[in-house]
Amino acid sequence: MNQIFGDYREDLPQGNEYLILRFSPTSVPLKERWRNNGLSANFMADYMATFFPGESVVTVKSAVSFIANELIENAMKYSDQSSDFPVTIALYLYRDRLVFLTNNSIAKQQVQTFQSFLRELTESDPAELWLRHLEQNAEEEDSNQSGLGFLSMINDYQAELGWKFEDADPNGVAVSTMVQLRSESL
């Protein structure tokens, strides 16, 4: 299986500046290490801010911190807990854009649900889908997953999103999520 959804660039040029964080699979429950997501996202944001001129620092930090946090939260939530596959998040800096790329395992039984959401996401008008999801969520007492993070990236940050699913050894599936954020949208 090798499936692509949305705007996923396989030919990503090697950037001059990048930062990659890799998290080992761990038996510590997600709840107990949840704070690490925020720490990691803030670190990435602070690190990248160095490469931007004075007045844009606050905006860059805020956008990177939001997007990195959502991506790390998702990767941690949906990683296959029974797998020893690590979670990675990379942030590449290009002249005209920032590219986030996460890679994590996903439990086989969740692949279908996730892919049908991605089909809906890539085929719908994101602003309309955002509204529809929130109205639906409001009706459900414990709606946990809404894909709202992805929708916020698209609607509020004009980011382009793409996904790649690949087979991972021996029974697993790995998913890569790419978020491209253009400098002019910052």
Burial (Cβ within 10 Å: 0-12, 13-18, ≥19) of residue 15: middle
Backbone φ, ψ for residue 33 (5° rounding): -115, 15
- Please state the φ and ψ torsions of residue 150, each to the nearest 5 degrees: -65, -45
Question: With binding defined as CB under 8 A, does residue 43 bind other proteins?
Answer: no
Q: Which of 37, 40, 79, 102 binds other proteins (CB under 8 A)?
A: 37
**Shortest approach of other proteins to residue 16 CB, angstroms?**
26
**What does each C-alpha distance from 23 to 36, 45, 79, 154 come to in angstroms?**
10, 17, 11, 26
Asked if 149 is part of the footprint of other proteins (rule: CB under 8 A), the reply reads: yes
Residues 52-71 binding other proteins (CB under 8 A) are 58-59, 62-63, 65-66, 69-70
Residue with Cβ nearer other proteins (3 or 62): 62
Q: Does 137 bind other proteins (CB under 8 A)?
A: yes
Interaction residues for other proteins, span 68-107 (CB under 8 A): 69-70, 73, 77
126 binds other proteins (CB under 8 A): no
CB 154 within 8 A of CB 147: no
Q: Binding of other proteins at residue 134 (CB under 8 A)? A: yes
Cα distance between residue 45 and residue 38, in whole Å = 10
